[in-house]
Amino acid sequence: MEPNINPGEVVREFPRLFRAYKDGRVERLLGTETTPAGTDPTTGVESKDVTINPQTNVAVRLYLPSTASSSSSSSKKLPILVYIHGGAFCVCTPFNPAYHNHLNTVCAGANVIVASVHYRLAPEHPLPAGYNDSWEAFLWVASHAAGSGPEPWLNAHGDPKNVFIAGDSAGGNIAHNVAMRGSAEGFAGLKLQGMVLLHPFFGSDKKDELVEYLYPTYEGPSNMMIHAPLDPKVSDLACPRLLIFVSEKDFLRDRGCSYYEALKKSGWKGEVEKVEFPGEDHVFHLFQPSKKNSLDLVKQFVAFLKQTSSSS
């Protein structure tokens, strides 16, 4: 006879991220807090949640700046920012208070519409599910390019010629892959003006047990979705401007720098800027949004969106 198996038995644990149990349950240890959409009292930004795919629950949290409802500027189309959250591909959502507050600030400061992507998390939905979900969300935004999509905010206020992609940590990796997929397949009526990567994750030459667990078909450094700095096709990136944030004490610092160097050496014809914050750690701006360096990061993020959109 087979021994009795405790359904509460932990079969895999990654400290600070999650525990996976024998019965298939996943207990997340980080990023489970949520906050509702609504009107932000500080910025006046409105937000709401929209389901894109009821079968998979792929969705977006949309942010609309207060200027969109003012009579003097209601006819002016606004740039669109597609934002992809981090969390090691396995924790967090767009509904997390840190992301919600951050994007309220970016939305108001840059005067852009934001679509913050809710993709399925591994390990229940192994990679590349998160990549495919984010691409599906991007195509949903693109369905409004002619002004006849399912979402009134994007139809009335979104400018399909002024589109940006951004993401932090694992979300930065996904953002890069969305841009690369669009470069190969087309952006479905949208014009990509720029991309912002905040402390992006890319693979290194060391064994990564987490990636191997979350991505069952991962084949190591030959996987260009994870190992973007090694991708010979990175020169095909159809994005004219790029901004990369790294931090001195971040364990991902060197990987963000490698991506920066790979772009510069690849023959890619765009402009890339790298900004490093001394003394700071991974995604410090989300954990301590009121500190000087966090305010400076947001200021540079906003300036990039405003400068690029105004020059297009």
For every residue of 35-100, DSSP letters joined together read ---SB-TTT--EEEEEEEETTTTEEEEEEE-GGGGSTTTTTS-EEEEEEE--STTTS--TTSHHHH
Q: Say if residue 79 is in the same domain as residue 104.
A: yes
- Indicate if 6 and 66 belong to the same structural domain: no
* C-alpha span between 29 and 7 (Å, rounded): 19
Indicate whether 43 and 25 sit together in one domain.
no
pLDDT band of residue 310 (cuts 50, 70, 90) is low
Residues 18 and 130 in one domain: no
pLDDT in tens, 22-57: 999 999 999 999 999 999 999 999 999 999 999 999
In a shared domain, residues 92 and 72:
yes
- Give the phi and the psi of residue 143 in degrees, each rounded to 5: -65, -10
Q: Domain of residue 302: give its range.
A: 39-306
108 contacts 43 by C-beta, under 8 angstroms: yes
pLDDT for residue 99: 98
Distance of alpha carbon 281 from the chain centroid: 18
Structure token pair of residue 58: 């792929």
Q: How far apart are the C-alpha atoms of 16 and 11, rounded to whole Å? A: 16
Domain count of the chain? 2
Q: How far apart are CA 7 and CA 21, in angstroms?
A: 7
What's the rounded mean pLDDT across residues 225-231?
A: 97
**Is residue 69 very low, low, confident or very high in pLDDT (cuts 50, 70, 90)?**
confident
| Domain presence at residue 154 | yes
Q: And the tokens for 7?
A: 């359904």
Strand order in the sheet with 78-84: 46-53, 58-64, 113-118, 78-84, 158-168, 192-198, 241-247, 271-277
Given 47, 116, 134, 169, the catalytic residue: 169
In the chain, the N- to C-terminal Cα span, in Å, equals 70
pLDDT for residue 187 is more than 80: yes
pLDDT of res. 2: 43
The answer to whether residue 309 scores a pLDDT higher than 60 is no
Integer-rounded Cα Rg, in Å, for the chain is 19
Mean pLDDT of 299-310: 86
Q: Is the pLDDT of residue 228 over 60?
A: yes
What is the percent of the chain with per-residue pLDDT over 70, rounded to a whole number? 94
Length of the chain: 312
Q: How far apart are CA 57 and CA 75, in angstroms?
A: 32
Nearest one of 130, 134, 123, 136 to 216, comparing CA atoms: 123
Kindly indicate the confidence band of residue 8, based on its pLDDT and cuts at 50, 70 and 90: confident
- CB of 62 closer than 8 Å to CB of 142: no
Helix (H) or strand (E) run with residue 171 in it: helix 170-185
DSSP state of 116: E
**Is the pLDDT assigned to residue 170 strictly greater than 90?**
yes
> Is residue 99 domain-shared with residue 184, that is, in the same domain?
yes
| pLDDT surpasses 80 at 70 | no
- Tell me: pLDDT of 1 over 80: no
> Cα separation of 123 and 233, whole Å?
28
Q: What is the pLDDT of residue 311?
A: 56
Do 231 and 267 share a structural domain? Answer: yes
- Kindly report the average pLDDT of the chain as a whole number: 95
The verdict on 2 and 101 lying in the same domain is no
Confidence of residue 72 (pLDDT cuts 50, 70, 90): very low
Q: Catalytic residue at 73?
A: no
Q: What is the pLDDT of residues 104-147, one digit of tens each?
A: 999 999 999 999 999 999 999 999 999 999 999 999 999 999 99
| Model confidence pLDDT, tens digit, residues 264-277 | 999 999 999 999 99
% of residues, the chain, pLDDT over 90 = 93
Residue 49 lies inside a defined structural domain of this protein: yes
User: Based on the domain organization, do 43 and 20 belong to the same domain?
Assistant: no
- Specify if 157 maps to a domain: yes
